[in-house]
Structure 1
Amino acid sequence: MPDDPPLIHSLRTAVAAAPADVPLRLHLAQLLLEANRSDEAVAEVAVALQHAPDDAQARDLMARAMGAPSPSPSPVQPPRPQGGFDWRAAEEQVRDAVPPRFAETPVRAAGQDDSTDVGMWDVEGTNTIRLADVGGMQDVKERLEAAFLAPLRNPELRKLYGKSLRGGLLLYGPPGCGKTFIARAVAGELGAAFLSVSVNDVLDMWIGNSERNMHEVFETARRQAPCVLFLDELDALGGKRSRTAHSGMRNVINQLLSELDGIGSAANEGVFVLAATNLPWDVDNALRRPGRLDRTILVLPPDGPAREAILRYHLRDRPIENVDLGKLVKITDGLSGADLAYVCEAAAERALLDSARTGTVRMIGMEDLLAAAGEAMPSAEPWFASARNVAMFANEGGMYDDLVRYLKKRRKL
Structure 2
Amino acid sequence: MSEDTGLVKSLRAALAGAPEDVTLRLHLAELLLVTGEQDAAVSEAAVVLQYAPGNAKARDLMARAMAAPGPASAEAPPVQERSAAGGAAGFDWRAAEGQVRDVVPPRFVEQEAPLAVDGSGDPGDADAWEVDAPGTVRLADVGGMQEVKDRLEAAFLAPMRNPELRKLYGKSLRGGLLLYGPPGCGKTFIARAVAGELGASFLSVSVNDVLDMWIGNSERNMHEIFATARRQAPCVVFLDELDALGGKRSRTQHSGMRNTVNQLLTELDGIDAQANEGVFVLAATNLPWDVDLALRRPGRLDRTLLVLPPDAPAREAILRYHLRDRPIENVDLGKLAKATDGLSGADLAHVCESAAETALLDSARTGTVRMIGMKDLLGAVKAVVPSTEAWFSSARNVAMFANEGGMYDDLLAYLKKKRKL
TM-score if structure 2 supplies the norm length?
A: 0.69
Q: Compared with structure 1, are the counterparts of its residues 267 and 164 closer, same or farther at alpha carbon in structure 2 (3 Å cutoff)?
A: closer
Tell me if the contact between 2:174 and 2:279 (Cα under 8 Å) persists in the aligned partners: no
Which residue number in structure 2 is paired with residue 277 of structure 1? Answer: 285
Within the alignment, does 1:200 sit opposite 2:208 as a pair? yes
Give the distance between the partners of 1:161 and 1:192, measured in 2 at CA.
Answer: 23
Deviation readout 1:272-298 (Å, 9 max, x if unpaired): 111000110000000000000001111
Which one has a bigger Cα radius of gyration? 2
SS of residue paired to 1:266? coil
Which residue number in structure 1 is paired with residue 121 of structure 2? Answer: none
Deviation readout 1:119-141 (Å, 9 max, x if unpaired): 22211101111111110000100
Which residue number in structure 1 is paired with residue 268 of structure 2? Answer: 260
Within the alignment, does 1:370 sit opposite 2:378 as a pair? yes
Which residue number in structure 1 is paired with residue 350 of structure 2? Answer: 342
Give the letter aligned to residue 193 of structure 2: A
Which residue number in structure 1 is paired with residue 130 of structure 2? Answer: 122
Within the alignment, does 1:238 sit opposite 2:246 as a pair? yes
2:229 pairs with one of 198, 203, 221: 221
1:333 pairs with one of 311, 319, 341: 341
Deviation readout 1:208-253 (Å, 9 max, x if unpaired): 1111111111111112111100000000000000011334210110
Tell me if the contact between 1:304 and 1:330 (Cα under 8 Å) persists in the aligned partners: yes
1:325 Cα deviation after fit:
1.2
Pairwise CA RMSD: 1.5
Tell me if the contact between 2:315 and 2:345 (Cα under 8 Å) persists in the aligned partners: yes
Give the distance between the partners of 1:153 and 1:305, measured in 2 at CA.
Answer: 27
1:266 Cα deviation after fit:
2.6
Tell me if the contact between 1:263 and 1:271 (Cα under 8 Å) persists in the aligned partners: no
Paired residues, number = 297
SS of residue paired to 1:123? coil
Q: Runs ≥4 in structure 1, deviation > 6 angstroms?
A: none
Give the distance between the partners of 1:363 and 1:264, measured in 2 at CA.
Answer: 61
TM-score if structure 1 supplies the norm length?
A: 0.70
SS of residue paired to 1:236? helix
SS of residue paired to 1:333? coil
Q: Compared with structure 1, are the counterparts of its residues 152 and 372 closer, same or farther at alpha carbon in structure 2 (3 Å cutoff)?
A: same
Q: Compared with structure 1, are the counterparts of its residues 136 and 391 closer, same or farther at alpha carbon in structure 2 (3 Å cutoff)?
A: same
Structure-to-structure mapping, 1:174-185, within 5 angstroms: 174-185=182-193
Within the alignment, does 1:209 sit opposite 2:217 as a pair? yes
Aligned-pair identity in percent equals 85
Give the distance between the partners of 2:133 and 2:255, measured in 1 at CA.
Answer: 35
SS of residue paired to 1:248? helix
Give the letter aligned to residue 390 of structure 1: V
Within the alignment, does 1:151 sit opposite 2:159 as a pair? yes
> Which consecutive residues of structure 1, in runs of 5 or more, have no partner in the other structure?
1-116
Deviates more, 1:119-128 or 1:255-264: 255-264
Give the distance between the partners of 2:272 and 2:167, measured in 1 at CA.
Answer: 14
Give the letter aligned to residue 398 of structure 2: V
1:403 Cα deviation after fit:
0.7
Give the letter aligned to residue 285 of structure 1: L
Deviation readout 1:79-132 (Å, 9 max, x if unpaired): xxxxxxxxxxxxxxxxxxxxxxxxxxxxxxxxxxxxxx9622211101111111
Within the alignment, does 1:172 sit opposite 2:180 as a pair? yes
Give the distance between the partners of 2:271 and 2:148, measured in 1 at CA.
Answer: 23
1:397 pairs with one of 380, 394, 405: 405
Within the alignment, does 1:386 sit opposite 2:391 as a pair? no
Give the distance between the partners of 1:264 and 1:320, measured in 2 at CA.
Answer: 57
SS of residue paired to 2:192? helix
Give the distance between the partners of 1:263 and 1:372, measured in 2 at CA.
Answer: 53
1:151 Cα deviation after fit:
2.0
> Which consecutive residues of structure 2, in runs of 5 or more, have no partner in the other structure?
1-124
Structure-to-structure mapping, 1:27-66, within 5 angstroms: none
1:265 Cα deviation after fit:
3.1
Tell me if the contact between 2:347 and 2:386 (Cα under 8 Å) persists in the aligned partners: yes
Give the distance between the partners of 1:166 and 1:396, measured in 2 at CA.
Answer: 26
Within the alignment, does 1:407 sit opposite 2:415 as a pair? yes
Tell me if the contact between 1:166 and 1:264 (Cα under 8 Å) persists in the aligned partners: no
Tell me if the contact between 1:263 and 1:292 (Cα under 8 Å) persists in the aligned partners: no
1:146 Cα deviation after fit:
1.4
SS of residue paired to 1:267? coil
Tell me if the contact between 2:126 and 2:224 (Cα under 8 Å) persists in the aligned partners: no
Tell me if the contact between 1:319 and 1:364 (Cα under 8 Å) persists in the aligned partners: yes
